[in-house]
């Protein structure tokens, strides 16, 4: 078999694998490329554990409860919610911004860390990208519900019509539509592009299992395998693993990476303009764009830890999603927590320094008013609790980091609640002042959004590769672990604009139809 010349970046040693000089390997050196393939594909071709069924059933229950609440709202209208005058943006808009923020970590891990050649992203980028897609889907649910007559939401689309309706392109609400739809489109294409080589591996694995069951009477199992082979074969788009395939793949992946990178900063900046361009006390401030971006990355990494800690345990991926990966994620949480805390303090400083009585009154209301508990919950969860990550022992404790990630998620939800609801409760006219009380329907739809998110993520863990196998193989310290009796011959494709190339084993190359 002809092999392409090995190419690798400076500072990397190649002796069956790659590892940066002076650092510990990202994956245990005893694991080979075959181990990666078998371990990642195993959940896709075996029955899930009982705990998966329990979690999936609970998520479906939450989704069903919210579905009933949404159906009642469609029949009775928005009056069943807690919104009032002047609090016209309540729980729905809070949830919208919360879920958009959750989706930021996926693009940061996938695109920005890729461009900076951070190898530790390889084991967690696929799950983070999936989290991004699902979170933005949950976010898109709330503006549609908030318009009231959801079946007429298409009126908001700018197209010629006989109703003499046209959108206001000067409104930041319309900027939101373009920003979020662009973000979810690029993120979905980026996610799918990175999955194509792994889908081809799953396709070939299904073929192999079908051959092994050729004489088996298990018709149902063979039918499922036929369906999997067809689905993965269609989605892999004829991938054969040739040098030409890899060259086009790496070039396309790099292009989508730099396209997605500005979106990390732009999307939540545009979302912040919904509030920053208004005159409402507590909203009219220039700190919102960087403040929102830092908070989005903070909440996104919190959700990454919430998902990865149980996922690596129940899918038996501890050897690939290691404590080093989680430790680095916790460092990002600590760093962004300090940025968010600084933004909180600057809000109070600017309100005091501006000598604007309405701004001062708004921030006094937040810390001393009837909703002060929401502010202090936010501050404690987002600023105080993450400071324990200064300790390396705590950063590497699974139970503690999981609990802290839950606090981060709670704190970031209450941050949005403080910004949107509390600012609207106290505007310029005392005659307009009100107090927001969520109804059971607000709570039910919020619970449904979490049910939808976890339903999609649990389904993803069952039917798609949760790790980027091709990228994990490229950072193995010893891809030929186990010796020649396992039949491995290292082949390195020439690196393209996307990176250093991927290590492939001879059997996998043959399975993908590479030319000899």
pLDDT of res. 502: 43
Q: What are the φ/ψ torsions at residue 166 (nearest 5 degrees)?
A: -150, 145
* Greatest pairwise CA separation for the chain in angstroms: 83
The dihedral through the CA atoms of 419, 422, 424, 428 has a sign that is: negative
Contact call for residues 362 and 275 (beta carbons, < 8 A) = no
- State how far the Cα of 114 lies from the Cα of 136, in Å rounded to an integer: 21
Contact call for residues 501 and 493 (beta carbons, < 8 A) = yes
- State how far the Cα of 516 lies from the Cα of 510, in Å rounded to an integer: 9
Name the residue ranges covered by the structural domains of the chain. Answer: 15-511
| Alpha-carbon distance values, 228 to 209, 232, 234 (Å) | 11, 6, 10
Encoded tokens for 277: 């361009």
- State how far the Cα of 173 lies from the Cα of 184, in Å rounded to an integer: 17
- State how far the Cα of 168 lies from the Cα of 4, in Å rounded to an integer: 56
The CB density around residue 430, as the number of other CB atoms within 10 Å, is 7
| Alpha-carbon distance values, 415 to 66, 108, 199, 270, 410 (Å) | 23, 21, 39, 18, 9
| Alpha-carbon distance values, 461 to 73, 428, 467 (Å) | 32, 50, 10
Class of residue 166 by CB neighbours under 10 A (exposed 0-12, middle 13-18, buried 19+) = exposed
Block residue for tokens 């890899």: 246
Encoded tokens for 229: 């082979």
Encoded tokens for 38: 């078998």
Contact call for residues 292 and 268 (beta carbons, < 8 A) = yes
What CATH number labels 15-511? 1.20.1630.10
| Alpha-carbon distance values, 58 to 62, 168, 326 (Å) | 6, 42, 26
pLDDT of res. 492: 38
| H/E element, 263 | helix 243-276
Q: What are the φ/ψ torsions at residue 83 (nearest 5 degrees)?
A: -65, 150
* pLDDT tens digit at each of 516 positions of the chain: 333 333 333 333 333 444 444 456 777 778 888 888 888 888 888 888 888 899 999 999 999 999 999 999 988 988 888 888 888 888 898 999 899 888 887 787 888 888 888 888 888 888 888 998 999 999 988 988 888 888 888 887 888 878 777 888 888 888 888 888 888 888 899 899 989 999 999 998 888 887 777 666 666 777 888 888 888 888 988 888 889 989 999 899 888 888 888 887 888 888 888 888 888 888 888 888 888 888 888 998 999 999 999 998 888 888 888 888 899 999 999 999 999 999 999 988 988 888 888 888 888 988 888 888 999 999 999 999 999 999 999 999 999 999 999 999 999 999 999 988 888 888 888 888 888 888 999 999 999 999 999 999 999 999 999 988 888 888 887 776 653 333 333 333 333 333 333 434 434 433 443 333
Residues 6 or more apart whose Cβ sits within 8 Å of residue 474 = 18, 122, 499, 500, 501, 502, 503
């Amino acid at each position: 078999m002809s092999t392409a010349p090995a190419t690798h970046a400076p500072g990397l040693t190649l002796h069956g694998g790659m590892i940066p000089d002076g650092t510990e390997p990202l994956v245990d050196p005893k694991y080979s490329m075959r181990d990666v393939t078998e371990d990642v594909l195993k959940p896709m071709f075996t029955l899930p554990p009982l705990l998966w069924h329990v979690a999936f059933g609970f998520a479906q229950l939450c989704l069903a409860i919210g579905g009933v609440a949404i159906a009642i709202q469609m029949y009775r209208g928005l009056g069943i919610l807690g919104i009032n005058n002047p609090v016209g943006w309540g729980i729905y808009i809070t949830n919208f911004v919360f879920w958009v923020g959750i989706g930021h970590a996926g693009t940061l891990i996938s695109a920005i860390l890729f461009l900076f050649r951070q190898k530790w992203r390889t084991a967690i980028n696929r799950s983070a990208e999936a989290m991004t897609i699902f979170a933005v889907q949950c976010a898109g649910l709330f503006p549609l519900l908030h318009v009231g007559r959801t079946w007429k939401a298409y009126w908001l689309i700018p197209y010629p019509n006989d109703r003499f309706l046209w959108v206001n392109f000067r409104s930041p609400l319309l900027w939101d539509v373009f920003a979020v739809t662009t973000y979810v489109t690029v993120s979905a294409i980026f996610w799918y592009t990175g999955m194509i080589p792994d889908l081809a591996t799953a396709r070939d694995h299904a073929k192999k299992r079908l051959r092994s069951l050729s004489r088996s009477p298990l018709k149902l199992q063979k039918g499922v395998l036929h369906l999997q082979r067809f689905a993965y074969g269609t989605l892999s788009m004829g991938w054969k693993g040739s040098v030409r395939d890899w060259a086009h793949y790496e070039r396309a992946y790099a292009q989508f990476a730099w396209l997605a990178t500005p979106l990390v900063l732009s999307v939540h900046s545009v979302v912040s303009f919904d509030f920053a361009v208004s005159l409402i006390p507590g909203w009219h401030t220039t700190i919102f764009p960087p403040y929102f971006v830092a908070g989005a990355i903070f909440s996104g990494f919190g959700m990454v830890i919430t998902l990865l800690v149980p996922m690596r345990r129940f899918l038996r991926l501890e050897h690939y999603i290691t404590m080093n990966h989680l430790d680095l994620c916790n460092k990002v949480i600590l760093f962004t927590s300090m940025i968010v805390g600084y933004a909180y303090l600057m809000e109070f400083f600017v309100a005091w320094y501006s000598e604007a009585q309405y701004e001062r009154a708004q921030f006094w209301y937040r810390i001393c008013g009837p909703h002060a508990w929401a502010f202090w919950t936010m501050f404690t969860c987002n600023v105080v609790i993450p400071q324990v990550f200064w300790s390396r022992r705590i950063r590497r404790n699974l139970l503690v980091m999981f609990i802290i990630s839950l606090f981060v998620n709670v704190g970031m939800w209450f941050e949005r609640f403080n910004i949107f609801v509390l600012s609207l409760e106290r505007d310029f006219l005392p005659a307009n002042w009100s107090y927001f009380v969520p109804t059971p329907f607000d709570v039910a739809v919020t619970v449904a959004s979490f049910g939808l998110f976890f339903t999609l993520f649990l389904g993803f863990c069952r039917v798609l590769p949760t790790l980027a196998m091709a990228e994990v193989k490229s950072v193995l310290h010893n891809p030929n672990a186990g010796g020649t009796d396992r039949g491995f011959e290292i082949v390195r494709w020439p690196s393209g604009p996307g990176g250093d190339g991927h290590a492939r084993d001879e059997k996998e190359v043959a399975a993908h139809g590479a030319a000899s």
